[in-house]
Amino acid sequence: MEQTRMTPLEKLQANKQRLQTACNEQEKKINATFSYIQENAGSLLLSGVSSLLFPSKPSNKADGKPAVAQKDNATSPSPLSTTDILSLGKSLLPVAWDIIQPILISWSIRTAKKKIIGLFTSKKKKADTKDLKNN
């Protein structure tokens, strides 16, 4: 009964093959998750927002079965606490800023444009009214 011993090179090659297989499996799982998220992004977003705004409250109907009620409470999502909402809001601030920033810039440009045009047109109007009074 001879046992074939692997050389260090063969060990490294076998380890490399095992790691490549594991990486390929993980990559397939990640790609499947991303494709699921892309396909269902709208419904996932709406369900997340609705669960934030309207958290489901667990019902306290024991019906003489306290063990069943405890099991239901363990599986149902708990309502979000204030710290959860604040941390979620804090994580969404960069996204909100990226959305609000172009709106603020375009609004400020329009406002500045109106003020600059107003300066030139108001001088014209004042000069025209002085000319009318002098005549």
Q: Is 58 left (phi over 0), alpha (psi -120 to 50) or beta?
A: beta
Residue 135 inside a domain? The answer is yes
Q: Are the C-beta atoms of residues 51 and 77 closer than 8 Å to each other?
A: yes
Q: 103: domain range?
A: 94-135
pTM: 0.35
Q: Are the C-beta atoms of residues 61 and 69 closer than 8 Å to each other?
A: yes
Only one residue has tokens 């604040």, namely: 86
Count up the domains in the chain and report the number.
Answer: 2
pLDDT at position 108, please?
94
Q: What is the mean pLDDT of each run of 10 residues along the chain (135 residues)?
A: 81 96 96 88 77 67 49 54 74 83 93 89 65 64
Q: How many CB atoms sit inside 10 A of residue 58's CB?
A: 14
Distances (CA, A) of 78 to 47, 71, 74, 81, 120: 15, 13, 9, 9, 61
Residue 61 inside a domain? The answer is no
Residue 60 inside a domain? The answer is no
Q: How far apart are the first and last CA of the chain?
A: 125
